[in-house]
Amino acid sequence: MSYRILMITSEAVPFAKSGGLADMVSALSIELYQSGSDVRILMPLYGFISKEELKLIDPNFEVSYKNYKENCALYEGKLPLSKIPVYFLDSAKFYERNGIYGPTASSAYPDNGLRYSLLSRAALQLGKRIDWNPQIFHSHDWPTGLNPVYLKLSDKETSSSKCASVFTIHNLGYQGRFSMRNTPWAGITPEIVHQYHFEDQNRMNYLKAGIENSDMITTVSPTYASEIQTKDFGHGLDPILSRRSKYLKGIVNGVDYNDWNPEIDKHIVPHNYSLADPDGKKALKKQLQKEMGLEISTSKPLFAMISRLVEQKGIEELCGPGNGVLEGFCKNNDVQLVILGTGEKWCETELKRLGEELDNLSVTISYNDYLSHLIEAGADFFMMPSRYEPCGLNQLYSLKYGTLPIVRRTGGLADTVQAPDKEDCNGTGFLFDEISPEAFLAALEKACSYWYEKPAIIEQMKILAMEQDFSWGPSAEEYLKVYKEALTIASGK
Ligand code: ADP
Ligand code: GLC
């Protein structure tokens, strides 16, 4: 099976990234391309993306729908180390800014509704401009949730297209709700919002638009696919997801092992390591301790976390004032901790304070790609106490780097990390169930006690972790099946 696929996205590595969505889109595209599909990507040309290596293919690319018109430009680049074309929608008015969604990690631009409706609409006009017609319009998360709606609307205009829409939910916690007062936005009127069922208490809801109007819906792990059909995880959309469950599929994300593999990771040269030759990890632990200003020690377990600092990630359980586990865990145990992240202000402030107070805790509040690789490689344990986690990529990276994940049993974390059984066999990490500081602390202490009291088991777990294979191949196959199904559905309409 091979298809012409257009990925429509707000993020893709290496051009723009705020989280795992960016990794997923690029890695899946590469895998699909390698298995024979003609995959291309459309994304905004944000102000921080250099135009140097891009080709201007249309200085007057007009994006329009009915009375709405916006003058844009179109650039073309390539996904590094591949021939995959990446089309960049350029608009000084909407995209030439230093942030993706907002000026900081915890704020949003007021015109995001319009910025991303423009992108979703542009996807339909791209084909004509470059003389290439996608069979699959694959859009991702709320920013491109309107794409399936525009597709339906254009079907009505031309009644010719034999193409299908696939919408991937990466995170139900972000829905893109916008007031309808300022419509028409890229041609969307309150009547359209109503007719295509993405009204949400007098606002438009872009995620809902994608879920209601795409031919097939996917999300990024099987467990999350079932969780989001329940009230606890549905963020208000569980009734719709249950109603459309026939069209919803959970496919676990893979890893781009060209980027995240200790054997070839360019960020950890010259200490690259592997299962057969594991010594580099020890040197990298020392390097990490040195760079983070921690005591150089091989005997103490080094725990790490790299995360967007938002409620989803369990920051309340980590360092919520008065009940977070971090301070007590650092004070009462012979351990070291490294935390890298950005996000909610209170959490950044609290972490910085604790980092200054505690000798065995190093906190870096920034977005740092190099450091994220060094941490994965140099740490012993990786913490993900997520309240919910659609897939999670860091636990997958951690497994490959022999850094044992300590995770809450939810979403993709439950699907990819195994606890040791009663005989202490077959474990690749430590899991806990309840959303509570106590449950998280118990898991941390369990890992700590294994480190000191059962070092042979830890070694065994590391080996099994590094042997896990989450390459994209099998998951990309699943996407091909979804594309096939979507086309069947679309052609039956
Ligand atoms: P999410 O997409 O919900 O943030 P994932 O685990 O899927 O969670 O992906 C997070 C990605 O973002 C990982 O590649 C992680 O390394 C990266 N990341 C998050 N915060 C930072 C940071 N402060 N610096 C560098 N990389 C980060
Ligand atoms: C989202 C989710 C994360 C997932 C990523 C890529 O940001 O929070 O769990 O791994 O998307 O699909």
Distance 124 CA to ligand 1 centre (A): 30
- Same domain assignment for residues 270 and 352: yes
Q: Name the residue with the closest Cα to ligand 1, atom 24.
A: 367
Inside any domain, residue 171: yes
390 lines ligand 2 (CB under 6 A): yes
Considering the domain architecture, whether residues 209 and 324 belong to the same structural domain is answered as: no
Please report, as a single letter, which amino acid is at residue 66.
K
Note whether 217 and 108 are same-domain residues: yes
Look at the block and give the residue holding tokens 């586990």: 325
**Closest approach atom of ligand 2 to CA 393:** 10
**For the whole prediction, is pTM greater than 0.75?**
yes
Residue 459: predicted pLDDT: 97
Residue 231's pLDDT is what?
97
Within this chain, do residues 246 and 126 fall inside the same structural domain, yes or no?
A: yes
As a whole number, the mean pLDDT across the chain is 96
What is the predicted pLDDT for the residue at 105?
A: 79
Shared domain check, 335 and 209: no
**Ligand nearest, relative to CA of residue 174:** 2
CA of 205 to the centre of ligand 1 (A): 25
Q: Which of 9, 18, 23 to mutate to test the pocket of ligand 1 (most atoms within 8 A of CB)?
A: 23
Strands 216-219 vs 361-364: parallel, antiparallel or unpaired = unpaired
Do 297 and 225 sit in the same domain of this protein? no
User: Tell me: the pLDDT tens digits for 332-375?
Assistant: 999 999 999 999 999 999 999 999 999 999 999 999 999 999 99
Per the domain annotation, does 333 fall within a domain?
A: yes
Residue % of the chain over a pLDDT of 90: 93
Give me ligand 2 centre to Cα 290, in Å: 31
pLDDT (mean) for 398-410? 98
The best mutation among 13, 24, 100, 170 to test binding of ligand 2, ranked by most ligand atoms within 8 Å of the C-beta, falls on 170
pLDDT for the residue numbered 185: 76
Q: What is the pLDDT of residues 26-55, one digit of tens each?
A: 999 999 999 999 999 999 999 999 999 999
Give phi and psi for 264, each to the nearest 5: -125, 5
Q: For residues 398 and 252, give the distance between their C-alpha atoms in angstroms, rounded to a whole number.
A: 16
- Which phi and psi (to 5°) does residue 4 adopt? -95, 115
pLDDT of residue 186: 81
Question: By residue range, what is the domain housing residue 182?
Answer: 4-254+473-491
Model confidence pLDDT, tens digit, residues 172-209: 999 999 998 866 678 899 999 999 999 999 899 999 99
In tens, the pLDDT along 382-396 reads 999 999 999 999 999
Mean pLDDT value of segment 15-35 = 96
3-state helix/strand/coil string of 374-416: HHHHHCCEEEECCCCCCCCCHHHHHHHCCCEEEEECCHHHHHH
Q: Does the C-beta of 391 come closer than 6 Å to ligand 2?
A: yes
Confidence band of 158 (pLDDT split at 50, 70, 90): low
Per-residue pLDDT tens digits for 450-481: 999 999 999 999 999 999 999 999 999 999 99
Q: Based on the domain organization, do 452 and 477 belong to the same domain?
A: no
Contact at 8 Å (CB) between 235 and 175?
Answer: yes
CA–CA separation, 268 vs 256, rounded Å?
16
Average pLDDT over residues 74-78: 98
Q: Do residues 173 and 282 share a domain?
A: no
In terms of domains, do 180 and 124 share one? yes
The packing angle between helices 20-34 and 473-491, to 10°, is 80
The reply to whether 455 and 479 lie within a common domain is: no
pLDDT at 183: 67
279-325 pLDDT per residue, tens: 999 999 999 999 999 999 999 999 999 999 999 999 999 999 889 99
- Kindly give the number of the ligand 1 atom that is closest to the alpha carbon of 389: 3
**What CATH number is associated with residue 446?**
3.40.50.2000
Chain segment 209-241, per-residue pLDDT in tens: 999 999 999 999 999 999 999 999 999 999 999
- Specify if 261 maps to a domain: no
Atom of ligand 1 nearest to the CA of 342: 23
- Number of domains composing the chain: 2
Mutation to probe ligand 2, out of 26, 393, 408, 470 (largest number of atoms < 8 A from CB): 393
Whether 260 maps to a domain, the answer reads no
With bands split at pLDDT 50, 70 and 90, how would you rate the model's confidence at 159?
very low
* Ligand 2 centroid, distance to 170 Cα (angstroms): 5
Same domain, 373 and 454: yes
Does any domain span residue 423?
A: yes
Q: Does a structural domain hold residue 259? A: no
The residue whose C-alpha atom lies closest to atom 10 belonging to ligand 2 is 392
Residue with CA closest to ligand 1 atom 17: 19
**Do residues 406 and 484 share a domain?**
no
Per-residue pLDDT of 234-265, as tens digits, reads 999 999 999 999 999 999 999 999 999 999 99
Within-domain flag for 92:
yes
Residues 458 and 427: their CA atoms lie apart, in Å, by 9
Give residue 318's pLDDT. 98
If one counts every other C-beta atom within 10 angstroms of the C-beta of residue 298, the result is 9
Residue 157: predicted pLDDT: 56
Is pLDDT above 80 for 56? yes
